[in-house]
Homo-oligomer: A and B are copies of this chain.
Amino acid sequence: MAGKTLQNINLRNIRIHDASWDRYINLVEDVILPFEWKLINDLVPGAEKSYCMQNFRIAAGQETGAHRGMVFQDTDVAKWLEAVGYSLSKKSNARLEAIADEAIDLIAAAQCEDGYLNTYYTIRGEARWKDLFEGHELYTAGHMIEAAAAYYQATGKRKLLDVVCRFADYICTVFGPEEGKLHAYPGHPEIELALIKLYRLTGNAKYLDLAAYFIQIRGEQPCYFSSEENYRNGTFIFPEFKDFTFDYCQADRPLMEQDKAEGHAVRAVYLYSAMADLAFEQEDEKLLEHCRALWENIVQRQMYITGSIGSASYGERFTTDYDLPNSTNYSESCATIGLAMFSNRMFQGTRDGQYMDTVEQALYNTLLAGIALDGQHYFYVNPLELVPEIAENNPTMRHIMTERQQWFGVACCPPNITRTLASIGNYMIAAEGDTCYVNLYLACDVQAPLQSGTLSFTLEADYPASGTIMLCITEAIGASQTLAVRIPAYSRDSYRIRINGKDFLQEPHKGYAYLSREWRVGDQIQLELSVSFRFVYCNPRVRDNLGRVCIMRGPQVYCFEEADNGSYLAACRIDTSQPIREAHSDDLPGGILCAIVEGDKAVYRSDMGALYSGQKPEREPVTLRGVPYSRWNNRGRGEMQVWMRDKYG
């Protein structure tokens, strides 16, 4: 494997000015973070109460009362702070920073003498670490560590970092291989990747060691969680957990014996992210190979075309290979984010562009579909097919919301989306030695601190509306440096790179064109990707997509909505022998490029009394209009369908 020299560049060094993404990213600072602050302070009329900050005040002794909300309610504050950190990295904002400092003061005040920090357990006075299966203590700790890292990187302020280091130090005294310590690991992974992040920031190897230990012993049999049953005594924080087997949390077998992604999808990809981090840090080829097998299992057998995962609502989990139902799936926004995290780490460990293809697929489709264009409404669950009347009346789909919701009682997704939007730079650019990887094509200005000196460039693009991406060097040191430009798989057979007007013909390596030279200010690189509309078909093992076709444009998946095509989308078929035409629409803010296709539709007549007859339904021609899946459900409640029947399917 490649050595552990690749790294993200500081978010401060990436200034995004992308017309399409700025719509969301600017919302983070302007709308979402202030709004979320109000939410976690219970200041939004009509929204479900969060109790987050109230819990911290009670734990800090500033108020009295009971803990309210979920066992992991603290993580909403942590994810908010993490997003604030990323946002401040991008642009300073004194007011936001002042609020965040205030929150951090409160968090510090809520920390116990010994470093422990968790309002649920502190307020309720319940014994710590007795219910690792459900208690989310280490999960919550992990999110707080991630927040501290982001805030420190943005502001240089150590207060929260010191808090989480004390907490992590304490955790290191509780867990570990030594006698007298708990030989245990969390039900919900997250602490592992957080500890590795903390190790990278502080250089304190014990954090890396503990992360490695958590991963190493996970799933040893008999499963640790069985030993907690006496404590739980038949009662459960989450009643449904009583029916869950330990594969739910990837603990039914040692991790190295798990060859398929299994269980709760978010847990799985958070865990695999940490495994990839560990393989990178320890240059552990075998572990990396195992991560690759898990990643391939996901992407080649268990991932929706929208980059989402989790085929079942019950358990919010992976099910089995090629089981990808379009209307009963869970496809949690958080799981897509976790898949992007895992894939990004796999790129870091391998410098292989296929992983960033998946990052792009996840971010350009399900991540953006998770948030409304107003920035204040979110999807938890992301079906690929929705008939509102059925979703509202058939309880098999009771997890499906037919419109985005403002906030949820269990609020993992909205702040997770926020922190991902705020840190999108971490997926865009990476640096290693004198090579700068350009992974995503958001318009931006980049200062890449390479080994021999800073290479700065401006990236101009209206991607994926246009496949033309222009890089212009704005700062260079004259030494030979490399721009590794990702060629997405969909354009692998048809792309063009010109440097200062001259074709660059060298074959890409693992999805990257490596452009090396002594760059000069003003040098121009033009990358032409083929983003035209295309029909995409599914592996025939996926039963639900047999005879169906999907339309894509670049990384964007398209879908069909009732707003454009009327209801009973299922009765429509696309004529795949005819080309997909392009049309512009101003229906949505920023406009959308629509896909226009010809097809037909089974005719229903109101005099059809019987359900079943010997008469095949007649068909009539229709013209259908598709819109990007990322923009669906911005025009009210209605049907939506990604995989359409193929007239020739």
Contact = CB atoms under 8 A, between A and B. Distances in A.
A390 interface: yes
B319 A390 contact: yes
Interface residues of A, number: 61
A542 interface: yes
A158 B498 CA distance: 99
A614 B535 contact: yes
Contact of A305 (B300, B398, B612, B649): B612
Interface in A264-307: 299-301, 303, 305
A394 interface: yes
Nearest to A330: B396
Interface stretch (A179-187, A406-414, A423-431, A543-551): A543-551
State the majority secondary structure of interface residues on A.
loop
Contact of A617 (B312, B540, B543, B550): B540
Contacts of A94: none
Given A314-B398, A319-B394, A546 B534 contact: no
Interface string A558-574: 00000000001011010
A536 B325 contact: no
A646 B615 CA distance: 13
A405 interface: no
B319 A602 contact: no
A604 B541 contact: yes
A395 interface: yes
A159 B322 CA distance: 60
B395 A315 contact: yes
B328 A396 contact: yes
A611 B540 contact: no
Contacts of A506: none
Interface in A587-614: 602-604, 608-614
A317 interface: yes
A396 B396 contact: yes
A604 B615 CA distance: 32
Contacts of A317: 395
A299 B611 contact: yes
Contact of A613 (B393, B537, B610, B612): B537
Contacts of A535: 614
Nearest to A315: B395
A645 interface: yes
Q: Ordered nearest first, which 6 A-B pairs have the shortest CB separation?
A: A543-B570, A320-B393, A540-B602, A314-B395, A319-B394, A540-B617
22 contacts: A239-B239, A300-B611, A319-B390, A319-B395, A320-B394, A323-B394, A325-B396, A390-B543, A536-B614, A539-B612, A539-B613, A540-B571, A540-B604, A540-B617, A541-B608, A543-B571, A546-B645, A547-B573, A547-B645, A547-B649, A550-B612, A576-B616
